């Protein structure tokens, strides 16, 4: 009997020690992450795939609830040497169908307007402007890395997420005075991002990423809502289809392909 009790005590002691060790280790590891490391994880997660091709529905929602819908197809390719490549095509409605936007770097962007049959180089002064009337700016659409432009600090940590505040680096050309990110510890996807007005410093836009799921091993928010808190207008981006690591050629991100129809 004594032997059994001793064995039980030893078992519970081991369990408590193991749990304590696990909890201590887990907590220590969590606290060990600096803000830069969290942002690194976010950047890495968002750029984990070598490339992707996705179809999305973009819904522009007015203050009164009325909606306008656009269908877009987006191509992404990671560029290990610099800025990533993105190509976005509008598939509907008719008046914007075929309009395509190619971003090869922050200062090399092209817009193809089928009505003129001409590719137009776009200077980076537009990058903080609304992207085709949506609540996303050209920069929001094309941005895949936070670390290049922002210095971050941890504001809060909960068991489920980190809350970070990111301020623009001295020479960074960003459209916001600061941003706040709520980063999931499970997926390292920001579930919420607050964007602050570049001059007034007040809250300007809120991005909410939801329906985060693993697709082909990559965490993907299937629904993104960007809301302008000043005018209560919002843009909902629903990813209807996405494929990762398809082996996209660099030729997809060329002026030759920009003019092609889908």
Partner 1 sequence: MVAADIIRRLKPAAITILFFSLFFSTFTVPVRAEDKVDVKGFLSIDKRFLVPETHTPIIDFYNNLQVEARAKPSDQVSGVASLDVRYYDYPRPANDLVSLEEINTSNPVEFSLWEGYIDVNGFLLKNLDLRVGKQRIAWGTADKLNQTDNLNPDDYSDPLDFGRKFPSTAFLATYYIKDWQLIGVWVPTIRPVLLPKSGFNLEALMPSNLSQLPGNVYFVPGKITTEYPSFTFLHSMGALKLKGQVLNTDFSVSYFHGYDDTPLPARLSNLTINLPEISADATMVLPHLDIVGLDLAGELFTVGFWAEATLLLPKNKIVLTETDQNTETLLEGFLTEKDRTILKKEPYVKYTLGGDYTFTNGIYLNCQYMHGFFTDAGVDNLGNYFIGRIEDKFLHDKIKTSLSGGLATMALTSQERFKDTLTYFLVPEIQYLGIDNLEITLGYFAIAGKKGTMFGSMTDQDQIYLKAKLSF
Other Cβ atoms closer than 10 A to 115:
8
Tell whether residue 258 is a contact of partner 1 (CB under 8 A). Answer: no
Tell whether residue 233 is a contact of partner 1 (CB under 8 A). Answer: yes
Compare residues 37 and 107 and give the one whose CB is closer to partner 1. Answer: 107
Tell whether residue 199 is a contact of partner 1 (CB under 8 A). Answer: yes
Selected binder of partner 1 within 111, 122, 207, 242 (CB under 8 A): 122
Selected binder of partner 1 within 121, 169, 200, 232 (CB under 8 A): 121
Tell whether residue 117 is a contact of partner 1 (CB under 8 A). Answer: yes
Selected binder of partner 1 within 1, 28, 95, 158 (CB under 8 A): 95
191's CB contacts (< 8 A; 6+ apart) are 161, 182, 183, 184, 208, 209, 210, 212, 221
Tell whether residue 123 is a contact of partner 1 (CB under 8 A). Answer: yes
Compare residues 42 and 87 and give the one whose CB is closer to partner 1. Answer: 87
Site string for partner 1, 156-185 (x = CB under 8 A): -----------------x------------
Tell whether residue 116 is a contact of partner 1 (CB under 8 A). Answer: yes
Selected binder of partner 1 within 130, 144, 167, 208 (CB under 8 A): 130
DSSP assignment string, the chain: -HHHHHHHHHHHHHHHHHHHHHHHHHHHHHHH--HHHHHHHHHHHHT-SSEEEEEEEEEEE-TTS-EEEEEEEEEEE--TTSSPEEEEEEEESTTTTT-EEEEEETTEEEEEETTTTEEEEE-GGGTTSBSTTSSSBHHHHH---STTTEEEEEEEE-SSEEEEEEEE-TT---S-S-EEEEEETTT--EEEEEEE-TTT-SEEEEEEEEEEEEETTEEEEEEEEEEETTTTEEEEEEEEEEEE-----GGGGSHHHHT---
Dist. CA 42–CA 47, nearest whole Å: 8
In the complex, minimum distance from the CB of residue 65 to partner 1, in angstroms, rounded to a whole number: 14
Compare residues 46 and 204 and give the one whose CB is closer to partner 1. Answer: 204
Selected binder of partner 1 within 145, 198, 206, 218 (CB under 8 A): 198
Selected binder of partner 1 within 23, 24, 34, 107 (CB under 8 A): 107
Other Cβ atoms closer than 10 A to 43:
16
Tell whether residue 64 is a contact of partner 1 (CB under 8 A). Answer: no
Compare residues 118 and 169 and give the one whose CB is closer to partner 1. Answer: 118
Tell whether residue 97 is a contact of partner 1 (CB under 8 A). Answer: yes
Tell whether residue 201 is a contact of partner 1 (CB under 8 A). Answer: no
Positions that interact with partner 1 (CB under 8 A): 60, 68, 93-95, 97, 107-108, 116-118, 121-126, 128-130, 132-135, 173, 198-199, 231, 233, 254-256, 260-261
């Amino acid at each position: 009997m004594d032997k059994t009790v001793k064995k039980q005590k030893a078992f519970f002691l081991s369990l408590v020690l193991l749990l304590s060790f696990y909890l201590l280790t887990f907590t220590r590891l969590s606290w060990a992450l600096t803000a830069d490391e969290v942002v690194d994880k976010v950047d890495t997660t968002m750029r984990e795939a070598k490339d992707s091709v996705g179809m999305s529905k973009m819904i522009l929602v007015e203050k009164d609830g009325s909606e306008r819908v656009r269908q877009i197809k987006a191509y992404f390719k990671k560029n290990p040497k610099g800025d990533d490549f993105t190509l976005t095509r509008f598939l509907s409605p008719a008046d914007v169908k075929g309009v395509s936007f190619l971003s090869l770097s922050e200062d090399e962007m092209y817009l193809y307007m089928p009505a003129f049959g001409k590719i137009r180089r776009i200077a980076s002064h537009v990058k903080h402007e609304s992207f085709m009337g949506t609540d996303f700016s050209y920069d929001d659409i094309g941005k895949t890395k936070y670390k290049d432009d922002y210095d971050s600090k941890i504001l809060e940590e909960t068991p489920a997420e980190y809350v970070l505040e990111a301020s623009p680096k001295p020479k960074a050309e960003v459209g916001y005075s600061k941003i706040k990110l709520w980063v999931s510890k499970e997926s390292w996807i920001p579930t919420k991002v607050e964007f602050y007005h570049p001059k007034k410093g007040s809250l300007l836009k809120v991005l909410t990423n939801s329906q985060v799921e693993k697709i082909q091993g990559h965490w993907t928010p299937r629904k993104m809502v960007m809301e302008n808190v000043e005018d209560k207008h919002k843009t909902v981006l629903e990813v209807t289809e996405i494929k990762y690591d398809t082996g996209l050629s660099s030729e997809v991100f060329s002026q030759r392909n920009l003019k092609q129809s889908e």
